[in-house]
């Protein structure tokens, strides 16, 4: 599989799971329980951090994949796509991280 297509194919699969039974589809079960979906993102984030602290390359990859997967489920549940996030990342190119953070802080006050 072409790596450029992975996010798109996963996004399409997640959208299709919206119409499946929570009893037979793990993703549908997450859509049915939004709090559980969000808890899974937190859990996977913590596991990713632990893997990074332990300098365990394989676990970092594995846990990051879980984190991205569950984050994509959340995006899909909110009718967002990977393209929405990629567009935001593209917007930030050429902007200093310090400048970008300062602009967020100014706009939230």
Q: How far is CA 99 from CA 12, 75, 91, in A?
A: 35, 26, 13
Q: Return the half-sphere exposure (C-beta side, CA atoms, 13 A cut-off) of residue 82.
A: 17
Domain ranges of the chain: 3-78, 81-109
Phi-psi region of 55 (alpha: psi -120 to 50; beta: other; left: phi over 0): left
Residue 49 CA to residue 58 CA, distance in Å, equals 13
pLDDT in tens, the chain (109 residues): 777 799 999 999 999 999 999 999 999 999 999 999 999 999 999 999 999 999 999 999 999 999 999 999 999 999 999 999 999 999 888 877 777 677 766 666 5
Query: Top-level CATH class of 3-78?
Result: mainly alpha
The two three-digit tokens of residue 46, written as one number: 């913590």
The answer to whether residues 36 and 44 touch, using CB atoms and an 8 Å cutoff, is no
Q: How much is the pTM?
A: 0.84
């Amino acid at each position: 599989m072409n790596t450029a297509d992975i996010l798109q194919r996963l996004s399409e699969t997640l959208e299709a799971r919206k119409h499946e039974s929570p009893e037979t589809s793990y993703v549908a079960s997450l859509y049915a329980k939004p709090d559980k979906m969000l808890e899974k993102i937190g859990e996977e984030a913590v596991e990713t951090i632990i893997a990074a602290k332990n300098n365990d390359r394989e676990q970092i990859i594995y846990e990051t994949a879980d984190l991205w997967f569950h984050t994509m489920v959340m995006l899909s549940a909110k009718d967002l796509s990977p393209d929405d996030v990629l567009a935001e990342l593209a917007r930030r190119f050429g902007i200093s991280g310090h400048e970008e953070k300062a602009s967020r802080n100014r706009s939230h006050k």
